[in-house]
Structure 1
Amino acid sequence: MSKPIIGITSGFVKLTAFSKGDYCHRDYITSLMKAGAVPVILPIVPGPCVDQYIESFDGFVLSGGCDVNPKFFDQDPALNCGEFDTDRDEAEFQLLRGSMKAGKPVFGICRGLQVINVALGGTLIQDIPSEVDHPIQHDQKVSRKQGSHRISIHSDTELYKLLSSQDSMMVNSLHHQSIDRLGDGLHTAAYSSDGVIEAVDLVDDGLVMGVQWHPESMTVGGDQRMLDLFKFFVNTCSRKKQANLEV
């Protein structure tokens, strides 16, 4: 069977008046290739094109990037809320909901985890340093390939199984927003010492997973456990692809 084709959502970057366009960090591409997939960067597009994405690809990675517009969880922007891209938010909400309906696996990373939560009716902490009591550093000052803080992992989750039944591990951290109230059907898979939710599972599903850290960069840095996360996701895409071919 051919390798699964995985779409990676992108952000929009403007470097100069003559240099701007859709952007995705190279580590996502490298990690998916290492895990046995064919990665494709997806530009932000209107609704009908998102429907075509869902039909054409075997799974999706919701990548990191800017903040989520707080209007989507019925809040005004807090003082320390960063830039947001409403078009990207709407496109990724549609992509997630359509993928769930079509049975296409989705892996949300950093912002992608937050998108999953908001799309399913949850809310976000708009700025951890100003809203969380006794916060640890979530915007690390070392290479993104290195872990910077520890997380605790619930033993009744797929994440726990994937990490060889480890109940804690070091992860990298490059964010200032996080999940507040969980979306419908989600439950916490991991959390940091200040209570920030670091990973979720969709109850009784297995097709939607999300982490707050950046496993793609730790994979490129040589962390086998992070590569195992991508392999699990890619293998899930392969199984669903095969099942769809047999229908």
Structure 2
Amino acid sequence: MKPIIGITSNIRDEKLLTTGLSNIRAIVKAGGVPIVLPNLTEDSEVDRLVESIDGLLVTGGGDVDPNIFGEEPHPELGEVCPERDHFEIMMISKFLRLDKPILGICRGSQMINVSAGGDLFQDIYAQHDHQLLQHRQNAPRSHVTHFVDVAENSLLHQAVQSTRFKVNSYHHQAVRKVAEGFEVCARASDGIIEAFECKTHRFVLGVQWHPENLTGKNDIYSLKLFNAFVQACQH
């Protein structure tokens, strides 16, 4: 039986619930059944959602509220959505407690980290004193622009079967301190954390790029990543 994968969503203009079709198509292509999740606030309702799905895809979107990790807003902080933040923290925390698979993409990876006690750069360009790559690429979302180097024998390495490949990039926030129990498993050449994973859970992985936008081009690394995630959700 195909696993049911919950996909987190954006709230737009306080009246629309949105997610990219690329998220849905990537899960379908990997053999899962996608369900777009509303941003609920009641604990009992969230518990029911957690019970009904096999895996959680935490998607990209706007910035993460720095109050979550004990900071006030930096001048370069973008738009935040407290309702979405609250829901995703609840979902991630419950999934971690139950050891259910989680894949976080871009903002989603950042949410996994702060939910578990880590923190973020609110703006990598303002908060680094050395030259960085272009992490907000001026190219189509399906175009890969910079390399990531992957740690051998990591969960990510097992999934993609490579230690170096190119990714796309659309972010200005990034993981700074990785939460306890998590390990960095990929970096860009400028040192920015591009992926991390949890060693105490069977499949919890956050990636800073957008693999969902690459599966349509049959990017082998993105396809392998989603396949590994959906396969983990079947157990």
TM-score (norm 1): 0.91
Of 212, 215, 219, the residue aligned with 2:215 is 219
Of 128, 135, 140, the residue aligned with 2:137 is 140
Secondary structure of 1:233's match? helix
Q: Deviations over 1:156-197 (max 9, x none)?
A: 312112222x22110000110000111111100100111110
Of 22, 26, 31, the residue aligned with 1:27 is 22
Structure 2 residue identity aligned to 1:140:
Q
**1:112 corresponding residue in structure 2:** 108
Give the whole-Å Cα distance in 1 for the aligned partners of 2:209 and 2:193.
Answer: 10
Structure 2 residue identity aligned to 1:231:
N
The answer to whether the aligner puts 1:160 opposite 2:160 as a matched pair is: no
Secondary structure of 2:135's match? coil
**1:193 corresponding residue in structure 2:** 189
TM-score (norm 2): 0.96
Give the whole-Å Cα distance in 1 for the aligned partners of 2:98 and 2:116.
Answer: 16
Kindly indicate whether the alpha-carbon contact (under 8 Å) linking 2:146 and 2:166 is maintained by their aligned counterparts in 1.
Answer: yes
Question: How does 1:1-247 map onto structure 2 within 5 Å?
Answer: 2-14=1-13, 20-47=15-42, 48-132=44-128, 133-164=130-161, 166-239=162-235
Structure 2 residue identity aligned to 1:26:
L
Aligned residues: 233
Structure 2 residue identity aligned to 1:170:
K
Q: In percent, how many aligned pairs have the same letter?
A: 38
Q: Unmatched 5+ residue regions in structure 1?
A: 240-247
Q: Unmatched 5+ residue regions in structure 2?
A: none
Structure 1 runs of 4+ with >6 Å offset = none
Q: CA deviation at 1:103?
A: 2.4
Give the whole-Å Cα distance in 2 for the aligned partners of 1:194 and 1:38.
Answer: 37
Give the whole-Å Cα distance in 1 for the aligned partners of 2:140 and 2:222.
Answer: 16
Give the whole-Å Cα distance in 2 for the aligned partners of 1:95 and 1:78.
Answer: 27
Secondary structure of 2:39's match? coil
Structure 1 residue identity aligned to 2:10:
G
